[in-house]
């Protein structure tokens, strides 16, 4: 499927036609601008199209949720960004939001209500699990992932912050893959090293980068695929794999990419 064939309506276009989508797909900064994570955005849109999900994006009207500003301690900038987004969302009477970024998910779900932004917010791992449970996604024997060792890295903002552990794993189980857990997983999962705005600053003194330690745990499982569900985690784990010179043997893929490949989308 070529990108040019993808149907990606904007909220403005739908509103002009008097239509209201079932869900707003919040793309996020990484999904919009990071070359690697744009591929995750396209994979998820292919899934939305293939399952006839009624959705729209904000397009140029979408701004950063304010998560990095808040984590870095700039509450004033966070509130400016948040209020602007809430005004846009409320103007379109948005009810349900799905996003592939746990940082966007956590911020809109847990921090926007205090500023007047009340929505049903779903992370794409949960959304994919629901599509599989409803039979809208049929993975025929897992395709190329059948029996393949895959390990899943828990995003801090998805796992510990929002207690979402099972949905991503159920998606991987649907691929018929051999899910192998790292030494530290679920509630004991190890951070990739990017959260809390650490992504945007130099590392502090220590004898090993966190993402290298986490990558060593992933490689120790013998998995050929490290499954991620967060753009920050994907960057840090990919950098770790490159550091270990294993990028030819081990791939870091998002859940949406795995499902899209499994469906030959």
Clarify whether residues 147 and 228 are in a common domain.
yes
Report the pLDDT averaged over residues 70-93: 96
b/e 80-115 (16+ beta carbons within 10 angstroms → b): ebbeebbebbeebebeebbbbbbbbbbbbbebbeee
Clarify whether residues 111 and 218 are in a common domain.
no
Domain that holds residue 257: 139-262
Q: Tell me what pLDDT residue 1 has.
A: 29
5 CB-near residues (< 8 Å, 6+ apart): none
Q: How confident is the model at residue 197 (pLDDT cuts 50, 70, 90)?
A: low
* % of the chain residues with pLDDT over 70: 93
Strands (E), the chain: 23-26, 55-56, 96-99, 120-123, 149-152, 178-179, 225-228, 251-254
- As for how many domains the chain has, the answer is 2
Q: Tell me what pLDDT residue 55 has.
A: 97
Clarify whether residues 153 and 256 are in a common domain.
yes
Give per-residue pLDDT as tens, 133-156: 999 987 765 567 888 899 999 999
Q: What angle do CA 38, 41, 45 make, to 5 degrees?
A: 140
In whole angstroms, give the CA distance from residue 69 to residue 122: 22
The pTM of the whole model exceeds 0.95: no
Report the pLDDT averaged over residues 189-197: 74
Residue 133, in any domain of the structure: no
In whole angstroms, give the CA distance from residue 27 to residue 19: 20
Clarify whether residues 64 and 90 are in a common domain.
yes
b/e 179-202 (16+ beta carbons within 10 angstroms → b): beebeebeeebbbbbbbbbbbeee
Residue 116, in any domain of the structure: yes
Work out the mean pLDDT of the chain and round it to a whole number: 90
Residue 134, in any domain of the structure: no
Q: What angle do CA 71, 162, 50 make, to 5 degrees?
A: 105
What CATH number is given to the structural domain containing 16?
3.40.50.1860
Clarify whether residues 166 and 219 are in a common domain.
yes
Domain boundary among 93, 128, 163: 128
* % of the chain residues with pLDDT over 90: 70
Clarify whether residues 14 and 113 are in a common domain.
yes
Query: DSSP class of residue 208?
Result: S
Clarify whether residues 59 and 157 are in a common domain.
no
Residue 24, in any domain of the structure: yes
Residue 243, in any domain of the structure: yes
Domain boundary among 128, 150, 176: 128
b/e 240-251 (16+ beta carbons within 10 angstroms → b): bbeeeebeeebb
Residue 197, in any domain of the structure: yes
Residue 118, in any domain of the structure: yes
Domain boundary among 128, 163, 197: 128
In the predicted structure, residue 84 carries a pLDDT above the cut 90: yes
Classify residue 140 as exposed, middle or buried by CB count within 10 Å of its CB (0-12, 13-18, 19+): exposed
Clarify whether residues 179 and 107 are in a common domain.
no
Report the pLDDT averaged over residues 189-207: 72
Phi/psi at 83 (nearest 5 deg)? -65, -40
In the predicted structure, residue 201 carries a pLDDT above the cut 80: no
In whole angstroms, give the CA distance from residue 169 to residue 72: 31
Clarify whether residues 171 and 250 are in a common domain.
yes
Residue 193, in any domain of the structure: yes
Report the pLDDT averaged over residues 45-68: 95
Clarify whether residues 121 and 152 are in a common domain.
no
Clarify whether residues 69 and 101 are in a common domain.
yes
Q: Tell me what pLDDT residue 2 has.
A: 37
Query: Are 110 and 65 in contact, with CB atoms under 8 Å apart?
Result: no
Clarify whether residues 58 and 149 are in a common domain.
no
What CATH number is given to the structural domain containing 233?
3.40.50
In whole angstroms, give the CA distance from residue 53 to residue 95: 15
**Sign of the dihedral through C-alpha 101, 106, 109, 115:** negative
């Amino acid at each position: 499927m070529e990108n040019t064939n993808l149907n990606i309506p904007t909220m403005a276009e739908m509103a002009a036609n008097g239509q209201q989508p079932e869900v707003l797909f919040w793309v996020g900064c990484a999904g919009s601008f990071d070359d690697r994570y744009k591929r995750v955005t396209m994979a998820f849109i292919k899934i939305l199209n293939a399952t006839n999900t009624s959705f729209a994006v904000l397009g140029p009207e979408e701004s950063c949720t304010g998560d990095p500003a808040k984590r870095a301690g700039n509450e004033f900038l966070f509130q400016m960004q948040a209020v602007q987004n809430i005004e846009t969302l409320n103007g379109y009477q948005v009810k349900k939001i799905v996003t592939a970024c746990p940082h966007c998910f956590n911020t809109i779900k847990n921090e926007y209500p205090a500023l007047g932004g009340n929505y049903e917010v779903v992370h794409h791992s949960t959304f994919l699990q629901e599509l599989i449970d409803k039979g809208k996604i049929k993975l025929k024997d897992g395709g190329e992932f059948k029996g393949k060792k895959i390990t899943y890295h828990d995003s801090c903002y998805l796992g510990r912050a929002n207690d979402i552990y099972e949905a991503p794993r159920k998606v991987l189980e649907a691929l018929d893959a051999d899910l192998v857990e790292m030494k530290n997983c679920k509630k004991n999962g190890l951070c990739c090293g990017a959260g809390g705005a650490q992504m945007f600053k130099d590392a502090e003194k220590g004898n090993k980068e966190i993402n290298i330690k986490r990558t060593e745990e992933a490689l120790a499982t013998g998995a050929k695929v490290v499954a991620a569900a967060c753009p920050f985690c994907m960057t840090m784990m990919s950098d770790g794999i490159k550091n270990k010179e294993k990028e030819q043997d081990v791939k870091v893929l998002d859940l949406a990419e795995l499902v899209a490949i499994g469906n030959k989308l």
